[in-house]
Every structure is written in structure tokens, then in C-alpha cells.
Structure 1
Amino acid sequence: MLRSAAAQKDPVSAPVEPMVDSQLFQQVLEEVRQRRHEFDAGSHVPRDMIERFKQVGIYRAATPKCFGGDALAPALFLQMIERISEADGSAGWVASFGSAGVYLAALPVETLAELYADSPDLVFAGGLFPLQPAEAVEGGWQVNGTWKFASGCKGADLLGVGIGASAAGGKPRTAVFPASQVEIVENWDVVGLKGTGSHDLRVSDKFVEDRWTFIRGGAATIDEPLFRYPSIAYAAQVLAVVNLGLARAALDEISRMAGGGGITGAPKLSDRAYVRIEVAKAEAKLMAARSFFYNATEQVWDSILAGNPVTPEQTSLLRLSAIHVSQAGAEVVQSAYSLAGTTAIYLRHPLQRYLRDSMVVTQHAFLSEGLYDGAGSVYLGVPPFPGYI
């Protein structure tokens, strides 16, 4: 079974069922470490790496069991993404969309059967915003427009785009196309998570049958436990956990640096009291946030397995844990970067990568500071803003 170094210290988040072969997973992690500069330089994780992720089950993790998938318990998938993110944040971010099957499960069952007819390993990516108007025509929709932030689009089999028709509560309708029918506008030029390939998508006058559209966050047509887990909250969690991996990597880097002296001849890091104090504080912050994150995940999952409906309070707890762990992880990386001193200003230094990547994670709409308002509203019994629950 796979366990991160952090999970070994934290029995709360220990895996609860067998996972992929740990030796194969370690090989994939090492390949990610060796190739992360390549991902940045090319602004995407290439298809051969996506194939490696398939081998360890990333792209069947959210495929229904009835179609040959694993429908993996959320905590187990999150731990996999955490470990990949320790090796490279961009790779972890792209792999996190292996969870997208929870969205796709809102498609009609017949459509899902067609999707998974050849393999349970399906790579889906989407650029849902800004929502573009679509013309309702007989049997479906005529789609035109350009969408942003389609992370992992260059390695995807299917691409989704957000169209103007939406359900109650403001949840967007998503139109699904074979990747060959969607133009990728390569414009991902950013400060962090450079390897995610979050380019724009463009669709020009394409018809999509209604059965190839779904409401993102809508009710699943598959009755399996994973598809009763709150899909929007899960989407936030799989992104937030990237910062757990980056924070662990940053603290490990400081540990490696601790035995060396400073450029100016100052004492080595491990001999400086303020460094020891700040490292201890950072470790406590990381582990506390991590425990909250996985405790919330397993609490809701256990309730689902017991046959209980998910409550608004549980959904809010998941979202709060995601926001919190994203922020806490970024703060730990910032602390590690500060402790490293001048050495960390070089662009090829690992802490530069961790710093830039972790700050981009916190900028995502699912993880922004303003979402604390939704959690506070639920806690105080006030209706939260639309789309939060």
C-alpha cells in the first residue's frame, strides 16, 4: 500500500484498502522528478507521462466500478496526488483531474457506457469559463466560443467546455467533445504551475448532442458511493492537496540544506535557533492542516458508506478543509523559502519552483480567501452564496 512520509507520521490518513503496486508508483514518482524541468519548458505534461499515470490508476480512479474502474475512496486518491505533487506541482495538478469522472457521472448511463467501452482509463480536461452562450437546436446545442484554464488539455481524450445553459443554483452545463474537435490555443505563459498546460480551448460552430452534455456538480446517474461524494467539494480538494505535497517537498529541501553553511560563512542552518524554531512551527502547521483535511474527507466518506445522505454542513466542511490546507501549505512553503536565504533566489533552485507553484494554487477560484465566507455562513446558519454547497 502507498503511504507518503507524512502519512506514516499521521495514522489518521493511512490508506484503508489496497492501492497500486508501490514499486511501480515509486518509479513513476522518480520519473516525474527527473522530468519536471521538461514539463515547465514545454508548458505541459506530455502524453507519455499521462500514459505512466494511467499505469498507476490515476485515470480509472474515478471511473465507476460498473464500467471497470476503481471508484477509489477520496482519501486514497488524494494521497496519490499529494505524493505526485511532492515530486512536481504541475504533474500533481494535471493528475488531479483523474478525479473528473465524478463530474462525468452526471452524463446519461448510455453515454457513459459508450465512453468507457474501450477502457476505464479516460483522460478528461475542461475549460469551463467564461460560460459561452450556446444555441439550442433539435437534439442538442450549437457551440461556439473560447474558454480559459484547460489544465492538462494536451494529454486529454475528451475536452469539456461550459455553455450558457445552466441548472438551478448556477451550476454550468458542460458540453463534451472528442479532443480532436477542439482547438487548443497555446497561451499558457505564467509564473507558476507552468507544466499544467492550462491553455485556452476554442470551439467553432460544433454541434453536440444533448446526451453529451451534463450539469457540472449535478446528480450522478451512477449509484456507487464515490458518486454520492460532493463533486464540487472534491474538485476543490484534489487541487488543494497539491499544496500539501509542495509544502512537504519544501520542508524536506530545508532539511537537506540544514547541514550546509551560508554564503557569507554564517553557521549552518541546523545550528541557528531561529531556523529550528520556524521549521518546527511550519511542521506543526502542515500536519495540523493535513489532519483536518483528511479527517474531514474520511468523516464524510464513512457517512456515505453507512448510507447517509451528505448534509450541507459536511459539504462545507470539505470545502473549508480544502481552502485551509491550500493556504497553510503555501504559508509553509513561504517560510521554507525565507529560511533558505539568498540561495533560494536562483531560478533553478527547488524552493523557487515550490514557492511559485504554491502561490498559483491559492489563486484558483475554488480555493480563494473569499470562500471562507461560505463556510462561515453555513456555520452561522446563514444561506451561503450560490454554488458554494
Structure 2
Amino acid sequence: MNAPLERITSETEDTAATWDNLSPLLVDIRARRNEFARAQKIPDDIIEGFKRVGVYRAMAARRFGGEERTPADFCRLIEQISEADGSAGWVASFGDGARYLAALPDDTLREVYANGPDVVLAGALFPLQPARRSTDGFVVNGVWPFASGSPGADLIGVGIIVEDDPTGGLARVAVMPAEKVTIRPNWDVIGLQGTGSHDVVVNDVIVPEEWTLIRGGPPTLDAPVYRYPSVTFAAQAHAIVGVGIARSALDEVIAMAGSRASITGAPVMAERGYVQLEMARAEAMLRSARAFFYEATEELWKEALKGAVTPNTATLMRLAATNAARQSAEVCNIASGLAGSASLYTTSNLARAMCDSFVVAQHAALNEGTLQSAGRLLLGSAAQPGFP
């Protein structure tokens, strides 16, 4: 059998900065992905591995010891981790939280990064829970679901709503030390089982106003990476997880195709016409979605470098992110179908890829509703709240 097609990369991608200690970490993640699913979380030693690689300092400001990497660099890192395991990639994608934190006041940021740039933020924003003002800030109570990565977080952010809050309809996020939050384990799902996306419970925690930020609001820090829109960046950091998962699924089929014979006496997979057709279709689908994703990323980044991001360019990025997530899920579905009974086992990477990619595409920032919102803007209608 001929060698698989080499992956095509752009000049920008070829010259992208490398990540220290990544290869050994990926080997470890691949070997332990069944462990992550059973534990319903990413273990602390893998979180420490993310810190060593630079996941959490990637988007942090240089003045606090961070690296201010480009969005494309960060997404390629998450893509590689997701190829090793979708849950690990999903939790690592929340390294984009440094972009959210950049909206905190400067003095608060000094406290956040007092011990270094490798600060792990997790949390859950919706539904927004009412908080009341006090002399010391906001009194926060409530339960928030889908708090991905919360078991390994240093800080937890939750969405609150305050009477007469002049946020312009944007969500206010209360940020607090993880030890002030109770994690309620209930993450029993079909995909991304290792993300630890449990409920978080907050009881009468007073959060000073200077420890709150406006999601999607203007950042305190001024650098190109902070002019890049935070909500758009969060959507694409999640979407690229699906791309990595889909790549691993196709590679799995390619690896088995040359030797896996049918129990019915049919030729090996690689010699079957329908397998050849479907593999070609899936490969084209994934590469096309990935190319659109990184093309839109570079266009948005160019605008951030110049100083101002336009709504249309941000909208195209949201469209590219949703497209990447949905096409990746379809690719995983094709790959699992081609593998037949081999993809039925719960420990199979193909079964995991199919379920993980489905969950990625179900995320509120990537589901079909975002396509409608993008279409509205592209056709000249007003943006819906929270988009792009």
C-alpha cells in the first residue's frame, strides 16, 4: 500500500513557533485516554504537563511572563492535543481564558499573575444567575452546568446578572479562587467524557467588583492579541478540537485499511471501492474545513494587527469555526462507518472520536444557530445578542 497523503501546510504554519516538551506529553495522553474517560476529568499531572508546554501562558501578556502567541499558533497546539485525545484537547482549549482575563482591571491582573503566567481558568457562564450588590462587591449564589476543566482550575468564572448593570446586554463574569466553589460531579455523557464538565455551585461568595469582567467587553491590556475578539476566539478554540479528533479518526482508518480483511471474505478495506470513495470524500471535507478555518483566523489576525476588527471578518471566523466543528463530526461519522464492527467497542478510538466530535458540534457556540446568525450578518441584518 502507498504511503498516506502528506498533510498540506501553509507557509505561515510551516514557520509557526514550536512548543516545548509537547511530543512526550502527547504520547502520554494517547496512552491514558481511557483513564480520562473513566475518571471523568483530566488528571492533575496532565494539567501540569499543559503548563510545561505553555498552554496557559500562550495568550497571557508578556508583562506577566506570558507569550502573547498568535491565535493560529494556539489553535494548532490545541489541534495537536486533540488528535491525541479529544477530552484533553477540550480542556486545553480553555487556555484561551487568558484572553477573557485581559478584561480585568490592571491591579487585579497583577494579583492573578503574581505567581507566574500559568493560571488555569475554568467556569460556566450560562444561565446567568442573579447577584446582589454589597459594600464589598457582589454576593454570588447559584449553580452553573458544563464547567469544563473545573477540577483542575485555579480560578473559576461564573456568569451573573445584576440589576441596573450598565453592560449593554453583555454577560458579567465573576472570577473567584477555585477553593470557594463546590464542584458537583454529574458529568455522565456519551462524548468528551474526560473533560470534567460538572456543575459548579457557589454559595454566598462575595466577589469584589474589580474581580469581575464583561464577557466580550473591551480589554484592559492593549496588544494585537487582545484586540482579537474574545468570544470569537473561544468559539474557534473549541472548534479546532473537532478538527484534531477527525484527523485522528481518519488516520485510524488509514492504518487499518491495508491489513483488515472482512470476515465474509471480502478484500481488505483499502481495496474496496466504497471505502476508497468515502475516504476521498472525508479527506477533502476535513482539509477544506481546516483550510477555511485557518484562512479566516489569519484574516482576523491581520485586522487585529492593524488595530481594529470588523464585524464581517469576525462573522466569517465564527462561520468557519462552526463549519469546522460540524464537518469534523461528519468526517468522524464516515470513519466509524467504514471501520464497521471495529468502531463498536467503547475503548475504540473511532467510537470515542464519533461521540467526542458530536459533543463538540453540539456546543452553543458552534451549533446550527450560529450559522443562522452568521447568515443574518452576511446578508446585512442586525446581529443577534452575543454574536459574533
Question: How much does 1:64 deviate?
Answer: 0.9
| Cα distance in 2 between the residues matched to 1:42 and 1:205 | 29
1:10/1:291 contact within 8 Å kept:
no
Question: How much does 1:168 deviate?
Answer: 4.1
| Cα distance in 1 between the residues matched to 2:231 and 2:153 | 21
2:282/2:334 contact within 8 Å kept:
yes
Identify the residue that residue 323 of structure 2 maps to in structure 1.
Answer: 324
Alignment map for 1:254-293 (pairs within 5 Å)? 254-259=253-258, 260-293=260-293
Identify the residue that residue 299 of structure 1 maps to in structure 2.
Answer: 299
Q: Which digits, 9 at most, give the CA deviation of each residue in 1:206-246, with x for residues without a partner?
A: 11110001111111000011100011000000000011001
Q: Which digits, 9 at most, give the CA deviation of each residue in 1:126-157, with x for residues without a partner?
A: 11121110011113101111111110000000
1:274 maps to a residue whose letter is Y
Q: Which digits, 9 at most, give the CA deviation of each residue in 1:233-266, with x for residues without a partner?
A: 0000000001100110010011011021023222
Question: How much does 1:200 deviate?
Answer: 0.5
| Cα distance in 2 between the residues matched to 1:243 and 1:6 | 20
1:213 maps to a residue whose letter is T
| Cα distance in 1 between the residues matched to 2:279 and 2:27 | 26
| Cα distance in 2 between the residues matched to 1:156 and 1:285 | 35
Alignment map for 1:334-353 (pairs within 5 Å)? 334-353=333-352
Percent of aligned pairs sharing the same letter: 50
Question: How much does 1:65 deviate?
Answer: 1.2
Identify the residue that residue 174 of structure 2 maps to in structure 1.
Answer: 175
1:97/1:124 contact within 8 Å kept:
yes
1:143/1:205 contact within 8 Å kept:
yes
Identify the residue that residue 29 of structure 2 maps to in structure 1.
Answer: 32
Uncovered stretches (5+) of structure 1, i.e. residues with no partner: none
Identify the residue that residue 364 of structure 1 maps to in structure 2.
Answer: 363
- Partner SS state of residue 297, structure 1: helix
2:39 maps to a residue whose letter is G
2:159/2:172 contact within 8 Å kept:
yes
| Cα distance in 1 between the residues matched to 2:225 and 2:143 | 31
- Partner SS state of residue 127, structure 2: strand
Q: CA 1:167–1:257 in 2, change beyond 3 Å: closer, same or farther?
A: farther
* 1:90 and 2:87 are equivalent in the alignment: yes
2:42/2:88 contact within 8 Å kept:
yes
Instruction: Report how many residues are paired.
Output: 382
| Cα distance in 1 between the residues matched to 2:16 and 2:318 | 25
Identify the residue that residue 250 of structure 2 maps to in structure 1.
Answer: 251
TM-score, with normalisation over the residues of structure 1? 0.95
Identify the residue that residue 74 of structure 2 maps to in structure 1.
Answer: 77
| Cα distance in 1 between the residues matched to 2:62 and 2:152 | 24
1:192/1:360 contact within 8 Å kept:
yes
2:257/2:270 contact within 8 Å kept:
yes
Identify the residue that residue 146 of structure 1 maps to in structure 2.
Answer: 143
1:12/1:294 contact within 8 Å kept:
no
1:46 is aligned, of 37, 43, 47, to: 43
Q: CA 1:293–1:145 in 2, change beyond 3 Å: closer, same or farther?
A: same
Identify the residue that residue 55 of structure 1 maps to in structure 2.
Answer: 52
Q: CA 1:70–1:167 in 2, change beyond 3 Å: closer, same or farther?
A: farther
TM-score, with normalisation over the residues of structure 2? 0.96
Deviates more, 1:257-266 or 1:111-120: 257-266
1:201 maps to a residue whose letter is V
The Cα RMSD (Å) is 1.5
- Partner SS state of residue 365, structure 2: helix
- Partner SS state of residue 158, structure 2: strand
- Partner SS state of residue 386, structure 2: coil
Alignment map for 1:191-230 (pairs within 5 Å)? 191-230=190-229
| Cα distance in 2 between the residues matched to 1:154 and 1:196 | 9
| Cα distance in 2 between the residues matched to 1:182 and 1:319 | 32
- Partner SS state of residue 183, structure 2: strand
2:350 maps to a residue whose letter is L
- Partner SS state of residue 56, structure 2: helix
1:7/1:13 contact within 8 Å kept:
no
Question: How much does 1:20 deviate?
Answer: 2.0
2:138/2:206 contact within 8 Å kept:
yes
* 1:378 and 2:382 are equivalent in the alignment: no
1:8/1:14 contact within 8 Å kept:
no
| Cα distance in 2 between the residues matched to 1:279 and 1:126 | 38
2:315 maps to a residue whose letter is S
Question: How much does 1:10 deviate?
Answer: 2.4
Q: CA 1:90–1:6 in 2, change beyond 3 Å: closer, same or farther?
A: farther
Identify the residue that residue 158 of structure 1 maps to in structure 2.
Answer: 155
1:262 maps to a residue whose letter is S
2:44 maps to a residue whose letter is R
Q: Which digits, 9 at most, give the CA deviation of each residue in 1:359-382, with x for residues without a partner?
A: 000110000101111111111111
| Cα distance in 2 between the residues matched to 1:13 and 1:270 | 34
1:325 maps to a residue whose letter is A
